[in-house]
Amino acid sequence: MACEKCGHVQEGLKEKFGTKLCSLCNHLSPSEEKDFNEYVSEKIDGSLIETFRKHFHPGEKQKQGMVKKAIKGYPMSRMPFGYLLEKGSLIPAQNSKEIEEIFEEFLNEKISLRTLAERHNLSINGLKKVLRNFTYIGKIKFNNQIYEGEHKPLVSTTLFNHVQNKLEALNIK
């Protein structure tokens, strides 16, 4: 049987207000019937929350809060530049090579953020977000915790770390 919210297949789905949910969706569901129906009508792609399902253990109150936040913030928000969504997974987009270029250029060239941003059609803030985004090394960050993602990294950890050091050295906030 598949969860009616996320499609996750699990033995022994929980039934609530006549709807069958997996344990994760059930845990996150509101207790009021009206809110509950709205919640169920907003379908999510179960594979997108696989990463969070792994970290979900009923009974650990703090973690549950984090998982809840993560699910709200992560899967349905805008895809990071360089990736696209296919069958519920982040996969490298056609422009994925450009991400590595941006990291390399920032690290190796004497170039202002403005010039680099313009070269890649980004805003300065957008560029800073790219340079700091843990998604590009295959991880997912939320609540200041870093988790292994399920997606392919676009830059090496070494390159990423060098860029973080340079951002810090230049006092770029």
Minimal distance, residue 83 CB to Zn ion, in Å: 23
Torsion of CA 52, 153, 156, 93, to 10 degrees: -150
Q: Among 138, 142, 156, which Cα is nearest to 83's?
A: 138
Contacts of 46 (CB under 8 A, 6+ apart): 3, 6, 7, 8, 22, 88
Residues 22-81 that bind Zn ion (CB under 5 A): 22, 25
CA separation for the pair 74, 80 (Å, rounded): 10
Q: Measured from the CB atom, is 8 or 83 closer to Zn ion? A: 8
Residues 7-26 that bind Zn ion (CB under 5 A): 8, 22, 25
Q: Which stretch binds Zn ion (CB under 5 A): 3-11, 116-124, 127-135, 144-152?
A: 3-11
Q: Measured from the CB atom, is 58 or 126 closer to Zn ion? A: 58
Minimal distance, residue 44 CB to Zn ion, in Å: 8
Point out which residues bind Zn ion (CB under 5 A).
Answer: 3, 5-6, 8, 22, 25
